[in-house]
């Protein structure tokens, strides 16, 4: 190790005198921490370089997404850094910027708004802001235009009965198929099976998609449109242990009775008649079967629902 220069010790003692601490050991620690922090900042500045943009990923549509904001940055510093970054992205021909701002850093959203960013959506503890930089009006897609509800019609083919419930705390209690809203990244068949079990205690298996209803101005959908899908399920268990928090009644009901019942919604009556037709002529006449196909862009798979086609056409 190289020896200290003759002028180092007097300078260090003068530093301790100017900034007194509880002990010289604490002073040394503070001095060492300051030096390390200064060196780290200089290295970071060197890596980023003059005019380098915020770290961001490029998507397939010509936009960039900033997933992580700099730690412990002030609004003024962030504003300048964001302005420099937008200039770089414009020069690179990027058409849009997506800025992910966690709730605990929401103070930085104002700095982004002053540069033209607007809120696109917010989920739990994170808001996403966007800036359109392409030609003409913004072509960025809207977010969450629909909510997806899924119900399961659990049919016992041996006796022609179907599982139905009446919701609790409704002004008018009507018989319906058990169901609820689909969770993010949840396939509709899985939603139907899960909701049926949570509401009735009956376990079931997915068989097919029966119908899709689209409805606008749906109450309780926060201004979004509503997609309501009904699946045909096969029972695995039959004993009912329904959720008393959600349901007033639950029973296995004859499809013929449900099709003619006055205390049910029109869509429930229609699906009951569809299921009767399937029982009499074969479910292949009413089922939209499900098949998994490879997704082009993600390398994963997706589910497609359609009427069954002969093998020679596949």
pLDDT greater at residue 224 or residue 115: 115
Percent of the chain at pLDDT > 70 equals 83
Structural domain includes residue 47: no
Among 84, 126, 198, 246, the active-site one is 198
Residue 88 pLDDT greater than 50, yes or no: yes
The mean predicted confidence, pLDDT, of the chain is: 86
Please indicate, yes or no, whether the overall pTM of this predicted structure exceeds 0.75.
no
Closest CA to 66 of 55, 75, 78: 55
> Which range among 38-47, 117-126, 284-293 shows the weakest confidence by mean pLDDT?
38-47
Instruction: State the average pLDDT over residues 264-268.
Output: 94
Q: Which two tokens stand for residue 12?
A: 């260090």
Structural domain span for residue 239: 146-305
pLDDT greater at residue 261 or residue 19: 261
Residue 49 pLDDT greater than 80, yes or no: no
Residue 47 pLDDT greater than 80, yes or no: no
Is residue 198 among the annotated active site residues? yes
How many independent structural domains does the chain possess?
A: 2
How confident is the model at residue 48, as a pLDDT? 44
Q: What is the pLDDT of residues 55-70, one digit of tens each?
A: 999 998 899 999 999 9
Of 132, 161, 191, at which residue does a domain stop? 132
CATH number, domain containing residue 121: 3.40.630.30
How confident is the model at residue 173, as a pLDDT? 85
85 and 197 belong to one structural domain: no
Q: What is the pLDDT of residues 183-231, one digit of tens each?
A: 989 999 999 999 999 999 999 999 999 999 999 988 778 888 999 999 9
Structural domain includes residue 46: no
Structural domain includes residue 7: no
pLDDT-based confidence at residue 168 (cuts at 50, 70, 90): confident
CATH number, domain containing residue 200: 3.90.79.10
99 and 237 belong to one structural domain: no
How confident is the model at residue 10, as a pLDDT? 54
């Amino acid at each position: 190790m190289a020896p200290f220069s003759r002028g180092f010790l007097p300078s260090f003692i003068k530093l301790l005198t100017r900034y007194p601490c509880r002990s010289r050991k604490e002073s040394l620690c503070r001095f060492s921490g300051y030096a390390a922090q200064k060196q780290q900042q200089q290295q970071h500045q060197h890596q980023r370089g003059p005019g380098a943009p915020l770290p961001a990923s490029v998507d397939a549509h010509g936009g960039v997404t900033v997933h992580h904001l700099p730690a412990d940055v002030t609004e003024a510093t962030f504003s300048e850094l964001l302005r420099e970054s937008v200039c770089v992205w414009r020069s690179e021909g990027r058409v849009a910027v997506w800025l992910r701002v966690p709730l605990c850093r929401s103070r930085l959203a104002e700095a982004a708004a002053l540069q033209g960013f607007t809120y696109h959506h917010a989920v739990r503890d994170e808001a996403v802001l966007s800036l359109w930089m392409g030609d003409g009006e913004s072509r960025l897609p809207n977010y969450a235009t629909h909510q997806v509800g899924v119900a399961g019609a659990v049919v016992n083919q041996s006796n022609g009965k179907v599982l139905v419930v009446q919701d609790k705390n409704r002004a008018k209690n009507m018989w319906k198929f058990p169901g609820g809203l689909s969770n993010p990244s949840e396939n509709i068949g899985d939603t139907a099976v899960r909701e049926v079990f949570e509401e009735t205690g009956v376990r079931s298996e997915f068989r097919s998609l029966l119908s899709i209803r689209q409805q606008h101005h749906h109450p309780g959908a926060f201004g979004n449109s509503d997609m309501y899908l009904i699946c045909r399920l096969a029972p695995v268990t039959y004993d009912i242990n329904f959720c008393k928090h959600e349901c007033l009644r639950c029973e296995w009901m004859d499809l013929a009775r449900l099709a003619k019942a006055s205390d049910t919604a029109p869509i429930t009556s229609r699906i009951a008649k569809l299921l009767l037709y399937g029982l009499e002529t074969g479910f292949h006449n009413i089922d939209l079967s499900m098949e998994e196909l490879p997704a082009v862009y993600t390398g994963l798979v997706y589910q497609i629902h359609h009427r069954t086609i002969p093998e020679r056409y596949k």
